[in-house]
């Protein structure tokens, strides 16, 4: 079915595995070391370290959804039907709720 | 794709504009709703973190244990749990892949390994919950529901250390505010760390203690927890619990599918799409954990 030529072997599965493992190991290493420069630099309301964590998480999520869940090889119409609600609604929700959380923090003081 | 449905009109259900079966499509639609549910939970968590700022417990003070190892090992155990789940995701893709090739024996092998991974993850989570509930350093709650910890040389110590007992000797400990207060008065090398994570030396600590201490907290429950802000444990139980429930139901579904594979149901049906659909669910569980890992343990 959707199993086209590039999916004959298993190498692509293990490639993604090593990427996910490598990224996770890198995150854990950063989390344990807590490099001072990354913790001290603030970007968009949180530390540069946290921003790196979030970006790496999105990279991992991308590999899982696109390769493991095969969404990258589905028809474009299906791909965007799945992705758009999440890509629009989740950042929207986060923006509203985190802004409100920040405001609540100011109100408490 | 099969062309037998050509005569049915576009709106008659004959065409498959997504080139995906009904079952697969519905699994995806379910996963979107589930993804939105989890993002609502995690953004709720984010709300409280932003609201409480410095008072919110930091993960490296909370999750420090590793089985059979002593001392502080922040992040190591969750890293292991993440590895287990990624690994079981890989075995799942392998099972799906061999399903496409109609190799029943290999599907059975990799599906079984996926189930083993699922059980290992559940076991790890039980261990993690056990430690979280039992607690590690104990703490003292104030009248205003803030939580402060015992410290020594500007580093976190524990109530157990101050009281001279082993917190992990398998028995249930209980301390009264007066007992701990007496010990703090007479051991001048101890101070405290108040809820915004600033350290007070012995003199200031004793003053703060006598004025504010109300209850000694041991471990975590839904009312309060020794790690800090009360909501922290609520979110922990709720979000990791909801995720764990997904893993659990995933394992059950995988078991049912495995039985069907062994019985030859999909061999007879001519395709292993059911394995693929369950695989989607299983990867989704892994996907959610990637986010829980980041927002609960790293950030």
**ipTM, interface predicted TM-score of the complex:** 0.91
Beta strand ranges found along A24-103 (DSSP E): 42-43, 46-47
Residues B53 and B117 grouped into a single domain? yes
Average pLDDT of span B175-199: 92
Same domain, A41 and A84: no
Give B-chain residues touching A32 at CB under 8 angstroms: 74-75
Give the per-residue pLDDT at B102: 93
Asked if residue B1 belongs to a domain, the reply is: no
Quick check: B90 and A93 CB within 8 A? no
- Shared domain for B173 and B264, answered yes or no, is no
* Average pLDDT value over all residues in chain B: 91
Task: Collapse the DSSP code of B91 into the 3-class scheme (helix H, G, I; strand E, B; otherwise coil) and give the result.
Answer: helix
Contact, B216 vs B159, CB < 8 A? Answer: yes
Tens digit of each residue's pLDDT (9 = 90 or more) over B239-295: 999 999 999 999 999 999 999 999 999 999 999 999 999 999 999 999 999 999 999
Task: Give the residue, B183 or B166, on which the prediction is more confident.
Answer: B183
pTM of the model: 0.90
Q: How many domains does chain B have?
A: 2
- Tell whether B9 is covered by a domain: no
SS3 B246: helix
Cβ atoms of A59 and A22 closer than 8 Å:
no
CATH classification of the domain holding B27: 1.20.120.80
Is the same domain home to A59 and A97?
Answer: no
Share of chain B above pLDDT 70, in %: 95
Query: B1 falls in which pLDDT band (50, 70, 90)?
Result: very low
Q: Residue A97 belongs to what domain range?
A: 75-109
| Domain closes at, from B217, B244, B267 | B217
| B44 in a structural domain | yes
Strands (E) in B78-229, as ranges, are: 139-142, 147-152, 155-156, 190-193, 199-200, 213-217
Mark whether A66 and A84 lie in a shared domain: no
Question: Is the Cβ pair A17, B50 closer than 8 Å?
Answer: no
Q: Is B36's CB within 8 Å of A82's CB?
A: no
Instruction: Give the residue, B66 or B180, on which the prediction is more confident.
Output: B180
B125 and B144 co-located in one domain: no
Q: How does residue B7 score in pLDDT terms, banded at 50, 70 and 90?
A: low
Name the percent of chain B lying above pLDDT 90: 75
pLDDT score, position A45:
76
pLDDT value of position B6: 53
Same domain, B119 and B33: yes
A11 and A57 assigned to the same domain:
yes
- Whether A105 sits inside 8 A of B280 (CB atoms) is no
Same-domain status, A31 and A55: yes
B19 vs A contacts (CB less than 8 Å): 74-75, 78
The answer to whether the CB atoms of B286 and A68 lie below 8 A apart is yes
Q: Are B196 and B190 in contact (CB under 8 A)?
A: no
Domain of residue B267, residue span: 23-131+230-298
Q: Which stretches of chain B are assigned E, i.e. beta strand?
A: 139-142, 147-152, 155-156, 190-193, 199-200, 213-217
B297 contacts in chain A (CB < 8 Å):
31
Q: How far apart are CA A73 and CA A4, in angstroms?
A: 9
Residues of B247-268 as b/e, b for ≥16 C-beta within 10 angstroms? bbebbebbeebbebbeeeebee
**Same domain for B194 and B63:** no
User: Nearest by CB to B40, which of A54, A85, A93?
Assistant: A93
User: Are residues B40 and B61 part of one domain?
Assistant: yes
- The domain total for chain A is 2
Taking 70 as the threshold, does the pLDDT of residue B147 lie above it? Answer: yes
A54 CB neighbours in chain B (<8 A) are 294, 299
Pick the residue of B19, B90, B113, B145 with the most A CBs within 10 A to test the interface with A by mutation: B90
What ranges make up the beta strands (E) of A1-109?
42-43, 46-47
């Amino acid at each position: 079915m959707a199993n086209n030529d590039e999916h004959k072997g298993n190498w692509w599965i293990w490639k993604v595995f090593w990427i996910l493992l490598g990224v996770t190991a890198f995150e854990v290493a950063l989390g344990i070391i807590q490099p001072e420069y990354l913790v001290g630099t603030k970007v968009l309301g949180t530390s540069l370290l946290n921003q790196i964590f979030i970006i790496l998480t999105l990279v991992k999520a991308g590999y899982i959804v696109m390769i493991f869940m095969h969404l990258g090889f589905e028809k474009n119409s299906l791909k965007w039907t799945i992705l758009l609600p999440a890509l629009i609604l989740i950042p929207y929700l986060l923006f509203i709720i985190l802004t409100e959380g920040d405001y609540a923090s100011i109100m408490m003081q | 794709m099969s062309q037998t449905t050509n005569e049915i009109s576009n709106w008659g259900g004959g065409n498959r504009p997504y080139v995906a079966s009904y079952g697969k499509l519905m699994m995806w639609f379910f996963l979107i709703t589930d993804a939105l549910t989890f993002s609502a939970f995690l953004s709720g968590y984010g709300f409280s973190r932003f609201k409480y700022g410095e008072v919110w417990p930091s993960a490296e003070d909370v999750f420090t244990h590793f089985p059979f190892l002593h001392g502080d090992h922040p992040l190591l155990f969750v890293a292991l749990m993440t590895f287990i789940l990624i690994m079981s995701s890989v075995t799942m893709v392998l099972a799906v892949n061999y399903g496409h090739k109609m190799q029943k024996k290999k599907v059975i092998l990799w599906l079984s390994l996926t189930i083993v991974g699922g059980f290992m993850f559940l076991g790890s989570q039980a261990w993690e919950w056990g430690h979280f509930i039992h607690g590690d350093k104990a703490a003292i709650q104030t009248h205003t529901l803030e939580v402060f910890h015992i410290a020594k040389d500007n580093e976190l110590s524990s109530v157990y250390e101050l009281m001279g007992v082993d917190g992990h000797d398998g028995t249930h400990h209980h301390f009264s505010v007066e007992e701990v207060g007496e010990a703090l008065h007479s051991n001048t090398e101890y101070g405290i760390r108040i809820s915004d994570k600033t350290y007070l030396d012995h003199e200031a600590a004793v003053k703060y203690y006598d004025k504010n201490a109300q209850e000694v907290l041991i471990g975590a429950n839904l009312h309060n927890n020794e790690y800090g802000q009360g909501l922290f444990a609520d979110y922990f139980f709720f979000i990791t619990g909801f995720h764990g429930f997904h893993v659990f139901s995933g394992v059950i579904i995988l078991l049912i599918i495995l039985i069907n594979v062994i019985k030859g149901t999909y061999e007879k049906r001519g395709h292993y799409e059911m394995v693929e659909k369950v695989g989607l669910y299983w990867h989704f569980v892994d996907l959610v954990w990637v986010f829980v890992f980041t927002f609960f343990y790293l950030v």
